[in-house]
Amino acid sequence: MKRRRLICLIATVLVVGTTLGYWWNDWRVERHVRAARSALKVRDSEGALIALEKAAQIAPNSGEIQFIMARAYRLQGRLDDVRACLERAHKVQFSKTLISREEWLAMAQAGQMAQAEPHLVELLLDPGDDGPEICEAYANGYLLSYRFADAFRVVDAWQKEFPNDPQPHVFRGLVANKSSAWTEAAEHFQKAFDLDSKRTDIQLKLADALLALRRTDEAARHFRQLTKTCPNSPEVQTGLGRTLVENGQLDEARTIFSRVLKTNPNDYDATLALGELELNNNHIEPALTLLQHAIKLNPNDPEVRNALAGALQRAGRTTEARTHFEFVANAQEVSLKMQALRERITANAKDLDARFELAELLRGNGSHTDRITWLRSIVDIDPKYQRAHAALAEHYETVGDRELASLHRAQSQALLENTTLEDKPNR
């Protein structure tokens, strides 16, 4: 009898322990998912991904986690990661409807409007909680496609429908940034910050715009506030340091840059800023050391090339300096060509040759992500543009995505064969 009671007691303890274990794991997953959703509300995609990775370690087969992770990656523009997460969510039977909607948003954000635009009305008729997400993705897509009027029509509607959302103002500010319209950018970032003063990402953009306008006292005030809320941010510390340089507080600026590099020795912005500071104070040897390191971190930036050329010239190393001065001159020429091509595309969004020329100029002269976006925009407008398929096949082969490399290579080859057949004379 005692033995039977003991067995029952042990069995009960095991059942209760197992139940508590499942409950504990569920609670931990839910806590991480809530943290990720809260992070996404304030545009902290990196924080969201950290929380989601912890949740995925506990529940690796959760479709919900993969879906939210896809959304976080979309905010970062990492569209290949978005696709991978949505594929994993699909494999574990997550909602097909939600997956399809997120795929449409990802296509829109990438500028693939021929595929995304037919779904816009459906999304807006039933936005759920995603109204702002939909507006932002499609506004980005229209902007990438150089359909500026359509982009701002969406932003106007977004701002009207969600008057307390700061993000439409952020969008306008970022557009102004790209054309170096700093006054306009600062105005939009200020409006956004007035709507949500807890958004440190907005405050940082505002501080950067104010610094570009040389409104250094205002910029310094924001940067100093940010050092309290984001004490470990190299971007914030370097921004404050640059502001101090403008105000002539060189020793304090040097201390800040050095502190950033002590904990982040490969931080490009701080390395460049300190290198330029030393160069401007005629400390040639430390400037050379810093700027040579900065070149390794970002070899395609004309600013660091120009600074290093100046340091080498002052050190009497004129032959080496000439190489970097020539790079800067070539970069300026490329920049002018890009501007001319952008003007062609603004005048005619379907000028595919201009888009392809721009993508090719970006090879080694700009953002790799921007180059791929331009190539994708071409095949989105005209799936029969062979050179874009060939370039995309090369890209995906390089990054190890065999599926997409094979797809674009097959399309490129088929288009080449069709062209060859059409060129043959009739017999």
Whether 397 is covered by a domain: the verdict is: yes
Q: What is the pLDDT of residue 76?
A: 87
Buried/exposed code over 273-290 (b: 16+ C-beta within 10 A; e: otherwise) = bbbbbbbeeeebeebbeb
Instruction: Based on the fold, state whether residues 308 and 357 are members of the same structural domain.
Output: no
How far apart (Å, rounded) are the C-alpha atoms in residues 345 and 315?
Answer: 44
pLDDT in the model for residue 393: 93
Q: Which domain holds residue 417?
A: 348-427
Nearby residues of 380 by Cβ (< 8 Å), 6 or more positions away: 111, 112, 113, 114, 115, 145
- The CATH number of residue 316's host domain is 1.25.40.10
Q: Is the residue at 324 inside a domain?
A: yes
Q: What would the two tokens of residue 205 be?
A: 């953009």
Condensed to tens digits (0 to 9), the pLDDT of residues 49-68 reads 999 999 999 988 899 999 99
Dihedral sign, Cα of residue 88, residue 90, residue 94, residue 98: positive
Q: What is the pLDDT of residues 9-41, one digit of tens each?
A: 555 545 445 554 555 667 888 899 999 998 888
Question: Is residue 305 domain-shared with residue 340, that is, in the same domain?
Answer: yes
Residue 69 lies in a domain: no
pLDDT in tens, 346-401: 889 889 999 999 999 998 776 777 888 889 889 888 999 999 999 999 999 988 88
Q: Does the residue 186 lie in any domain?
A: no
Give the pLDDT of residue 426. 42
Q: Report if residue 399 sits inside a domain.
A: yes
Q: Which of 313, 344, 375 is the last residue of a domain?
A: 344
pLDDT at 20: 47
Count of Cβ atoms closer than 10 Å to residue 50 Cβ: 15
274 plus 327 within the same structural domain: yes
Kindly state whether residue 198 falls inside one of the protein's structural domains.
Answer: no
Same domain as 358, residue 292? no
Quote the tokens at residue 20. 């508590």
Q: Which residues of 386-395 are buried (b: 16+ CB within 10 A; e: fewer)?
A: bbbbbbbbeb
**Domain co-membership, 394 together with 415:** yes
Residue with tokens 């997400």: 133
Among 117, 36, 95, smallest CA distance to 71 is for: 36
The answer on 304 and 378 residing in a single domain is no
**424 in the same domain as 367:** yes
Query: Is 426 found in the same domain as 406?
Result: yes
Here the tokens at position 234 are: 């190299």
Average pLDDT value for the chain: 89
Mean pLDDT in residue range 227-251: 95
pLDDT confidence band for 420 (50 / 70 / 90) = low
pLDDT tens digits along 157-170:
999 999 999 999 99
- pLDDT interval class at 86 (50, 70, 90): very high
Q: Could you read off the pLDDT of 112-126 as tens digits, one per residue?
A: 888 899 999 999 889
Same domain assignment for residues 355 and 426: yes
Q: Which of 344, 378, 409 is at the close of a domain?
A: 344
Mean pLDDT of 5-11: 57
Integer Cα distance of 22 and 288 in angstroms: 59
Task: Please report where in the chains the tokens 């310094």 appear, as a residue.
Answer: 220
Q: Over 50: is that where the pLDDT of 96 sits?
A: yes
Please state the domain count of the chain: 2
pLDDT digits (tens, 9 = 90+) for 268-315: 999 999 999 999 999 999 999 999 999 999 998 999 999 999 999 999
The mean per-residue pLDDT over the stretch 310-327 comes to: 95
Which residue type does 385 have? Answer: Y
Please indicate, yes or no, whether residues 290 and 302 belong to a single structural domain of this protein: yes
Q: Is the distance from CB of 119 to CB of 103 less than 8 angstroms?
A: no
> Domain boundary residue among 298, 320, 344?
344
Q: Is 151 within the bounds of a domain?
A: no
Confidence of residue 427 (pLDDT cuts 50, 70, 90): very low
Same domain, 280 and 312: yes
- In this predicted structure, the answer to whether residue 425 has a pLDDT above a threshold of 50 is no
Identify residue 347 by its one-letter amino acid code: A
| Residue 329 located in a structural domain | yes
The verdict on 356 and 425 lying in the same domain is: yes
Beta strands in 272-369 (DSSP E): none
